[in-house]
Amino acid sequence: MKKTVLWMISLVLIAPFFVSAQSAARPNAIVKHVLLIGVDGFGARNIPWDRMPNLSKLRDNGLYTPGRNCFPTASAINWATALMGTTVDFHGYRKWNSKKPDVEAYQLTTKGKPPCIFSEIRRQDPNAYTVSIFDWDGIGFIHETNDVSTSIFFPHDAENYLDQEKNETKRMIEELAKKPTLAFLYFGRVDSTGHKMGWGTPEYIQACVDTDEHIGKVVAYLNESGMMMDTAIILIADHGGHDKGHGDATLACYDIPFLVYSPKLAGYKFRQPVYLPDTAPTIAWLLGYEVFEGWRGRPALKR
């Protein structure tokens, strides 16, 4: 009897520690998990939909609209725009490979960078598990490593880029088994192929096809594991391109895909217009977190 009483007392005493170790309850959450997929150089006017069955299925069964990015239409500028929920005049990243704000940002965290979706989740829910997997080191200079539970950089390997992407995909599936609140998967080969061979070339299209296959494997895992029912997938890009470059004020560079899929989003539609700074607020809103007031974007969906 005494042992039973002592065991019950111990359970009561340690119970708060079990509770505190869990991610915060989010009563307004629509989903428990968001998978953000970023494809560099994947402009809305460059997508070979007829060769991409996996993304086409997500588009046809979810929500899709061409969105707009920020000028200049280059990488670090617009990945910062997406993850930081605001425009270049607020976040201060002004070059394609900026490692920190080139102009002091309008608002900074205590770590010296503008608030991003990862830092906001960490601030509001310190025990939430998040992951970021990417093959361009510039992503690691946009979100703070300490704000991401697991941050994995696959160094660019031009000779074996396809195998590298397969390894990224495999690692993301392993991380999804941990049921992260937010997972970010970035692919850079579409952009690299555009610069090397040209946007719209057979080589560019093949890079898109390969990326679609990787995404299909991740989606298959979400379906087979049953995790899809509580997950939203968001697909975005930083810019498109033409010839062998980007960065100018052409629509081929400006227009980017904005795709959202989840079984929980029946009856929802896009607010209009949608633009890249809406990414972070949309993620926060889907997950039931407070949307940071300093962000210029807003949740892209409504009933």
- Check which CATH number belongs to the domain holding 197 and give it: 3.40.720.10
Distance between CA 292 and CA 294 in Å, rounded? 6
Per-residue pLDDT, 12: 37
Of 6-20, 60-74, 173-187, 254-268, which gets the smallest average pLDDT?
6-20
Q: Does residue 11 form part of some domain?
A: no
Give me the percent of the chain exceeding a pLDDT of 90: 76
Q: Identify the band that residue 17 occupies on the pLDDT scale cut at 50, 70 and 90.
A: very low
Whether residue 210 contacts residue 60, with contact meaning beta carbons closer than 8 Å, is answered with no
Whether residue 261 contacts residue 233, with contact meaning beta carbons closer than 8 Å, is answered with yes
Q: Identify the band that residue 2 occupies on the pLDDT scale cut at 50, 70 and 90.
A: very low
Q: Identify the band that residue 70 occupies on the pLDDT scale cut at 50, 70 and 90.
A: very high
Distance between CA 95 and CA 253 in Å, rounded? 15
Distance between CA 291 and CA 294 in Å, rounded? 9
Q: Does residue 250 form part of some domain?
A: yes
Q: Does residue 272 form part of some domain?
A: yes
Tokens 């192929």 found at: 193
Query: In the predicted model, is pLDDT for residue 16 greater than 50?
Result: no
Per-residue pLDDT, 22: 55
- What are the start-end ranges of the H helices in 34-74? 53-61
Distance between CA 236 and CA 66 in Å, rounded? 10
Query: In the predicted model, is pLDDT for residue 1 greater than 70?
Result: no
Q: Identify the band that residue 122 occupies on the pLDDT scale cut at 50, 70 and 90.
A: very high
Q: pTM score, two decimals? A: 0.91
Q: Identify the band that residue 13 occupies on the pLDDT scale cut at 50, 70 and 90.
A: very low
Distance between CA 36 and CA 236 in Å, rounded? 8
Amino acid, res. 114: P
Whether residue 129 contacts residue 190, with contact meaning beta carbons closer than 8 Å, is answered with no
Q: Environment class of residue 262 by beta-carbon count within 10 Å: exposed (0-12), middle (13-18) or buried (19+)? A: buried
Give me the percent of the chain exceeding a pLDDT of 70: 92
| pLDDT tens, position by position, 48-64 | 999 999 999 999 999 99
| pLDDT tens, position by position, 210-220 | 999 999 999 99
Of 11-25, 94-108, 121-135, which gets the smallest average pLDDT?
11-25
Of the candidates 203, 234, 191, the residue with the CA atom closest to the CA atom of residue 96 = 191
Q: Identify the band that residue 107 occupies on the pLDDT scale cut at 50, 70 and 90.
A: confident
CA angle 146, 150, 153 (to 5 degrees): 95
Q: Does residue 6 form part of some domain?
A: no
- Count Cβ atoms below 10 Å from residue 73 Cβ, excluding itself: 26
Distance between CA 279 and CA 235 in Å, rounded? 10
Q: Does residue 17 form part of some domain?
A: no
Q: Does residue 4 form part of some domain?
A: no
Of 79-83, 178-182, 229-233, 247-251, which gets the smallest average pLDDT?
247-251
> Which residues form the domain of 264?
28-302
Q: Does residue 16 form part of some domain?
A: no
Query: In the predicted model, is pLDDT for residue 5 greater than 60?
Result: no
**Domain count along the chain:** 1
Distance between CA 258 and CA 215 in Å, rounded? 15
Q: Does residue 1 form part of some domain?
A: no
| pLDDT tens, position by position, 139-161 | 999 987 789 999 999 998 777 88
HSE at residue 32, side-chain half, CA atoms within 13 A, is 14
Per-residue pLDDT, 298: 97
Query: Quick one: how far is CA 259 from the chain centroid?
Result: 11
Of the candidates 57, 9, 77, 29, the residue with the CA atom closest to the CA atom of residue 276 = 77
